[in-house]
């Protein structure tokens, strides 16, 4: 999950050679949009199917109810959330160095953070390096880079280099049916596809062994569409607004054993 770029700012940008390499290697969603502004409600939309009436990047707000983490846990699907810059697992403070709680939707749900068996799966990105070294990626992984590497505070060249150093290792361990999704929380405009206003048109790339190279996915979609696709893949009921969304590229999210 990256930050604050419109589609035209990234696609074809010479400052983003690796991101554009991923576009050529996989599929690009050309009609994908954030649902609102600012950051946090977009993260909540992708994670739990609603913005919950939140219209700011609050750090003391709390959200209740089911979410993707509780769904995966109850279904027995292994998962882990990697947060670059977070000092320890289960960290609940608003900020630590270049880590920001507002980019970690897991931290807003007591149904995740109040249960050690769940909050211990919300870990620093350093754990991802260890999991890659041991070839132990979970079936579902979420990654939020820090405030520089997600593009919030730094030029996109720093983002692109971070992707270049990390993503090839992930791709090598996707397995025959694995899928990597790189998307953004929002753009800078109010463009939307599925209700107006939206959160801007944002680049979203899908890469994996079963993804045809160089494909453009032109169907209108947003974070609710992506959540619906993930839930469909794992056989989970769709949460809230995801129940009404058209899924993104259903053929690429078909359930696997």
**1 found inside a domain:** no
In the predicted structure, residue 138 carries a pLDDT above the cut 80? yes
> For residue 32, what is the domain's CATH number?
3.40.720.10
Q: Is this prediction's pTM over 0.95?
A: yes
**241 found inside a domain:** yes
Would you state the pLDDT for residue 254? 85
Would you state the pLDDT for residue 16? 97
Cα dihedral 100, 105, 109, 111 sign: negative
**2 found inside a domain:** no
In the predicted structure, residue 256 carries a pLDDT above the cut 90? no
Q: Are 104 and 145 in contact (CB under 8 A)?
A: no
**218 found inside a domain:** yes
Cα–Cα distance for residue pair 234/248, rounded to 1 Å: 14
**212 found inside a domain:** yes
Residue-wise pLDDT tens digits, 56-77: 999 999 999 999 999 999 999 9
Residue-wise pLDDT tens digits, 197-214: 899 999 999 999 999 999
In the predicted structure, residue 152 carries a pLDDT above the cut 80? yes
Which residue segment(s) compose the domain that 149 sits in? 7-253
- Count structural domains, the chain: 1
**42 found inside a domain:** yes
Phi-psi region of 179 (alpha: psi -120 to 50; beta: other; left: phi over 0): beta
- CA distances from residue 248 to 21, 30, 202, 227 in whole angstroms, order as listed: 21, 11, 14, 9
Residue-wise pLDDT tens digits, 212-234: 999 999 999 999 999 999 999 99
**216 found inside a domain:** yes
């Amino acid at each position: 999950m990256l930050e604050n770029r419109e589609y035209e700012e990234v696609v074809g940008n010479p400052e983003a050679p690796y991101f554009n390499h991923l576009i050529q290697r996989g599929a690009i969603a050309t009609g994908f949009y954030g649902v609102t502004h600012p950051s946090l409600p977009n993260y909540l939309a992708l994670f739990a199917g609603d913005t919950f009436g939140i219209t700011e990047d609050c750090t003391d707000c709390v959200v209740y109810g089911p979410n993707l983490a509780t769904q995966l846990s109850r279904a027995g699907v292994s998962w882990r959330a990697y947060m670059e810059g977070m000092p320890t697992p289960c960290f609940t403070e608003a900020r630590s160095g270049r880590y920001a709680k507002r980019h970690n939707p897991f931290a807003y749900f007591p149904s995740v953070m109040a249960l050690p068996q769940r909050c211990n799966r919300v870990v620093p990105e350093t754990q991802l390096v260890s999991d890659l070294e041991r070839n132990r990626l979970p079936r579902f992984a979420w990654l939020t880079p820090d405030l520089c590497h997600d593009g919030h505070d730094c030029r996109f060249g720093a983002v692109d280099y971070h992707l270049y150093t990390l993503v090839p290792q992930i791709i090598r361990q996707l397995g025959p049916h694995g899928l990597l999704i790189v998307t953004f929380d929002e753009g800078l405009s109010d463009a939307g596809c599925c209700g107006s206003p939206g959160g801007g048109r944002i680049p979203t790339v899908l890469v994996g062994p079963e993804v045809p190279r160089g494909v453009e996915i032109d169907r209108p979609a947003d974070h609710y569409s992506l959540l619906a696709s993930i839930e469909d893949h794992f056989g989970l009921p769709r949460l809230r607004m995801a129940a009404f969304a058209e899924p993104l590229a259903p053929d690429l999210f078909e359930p696997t054993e």
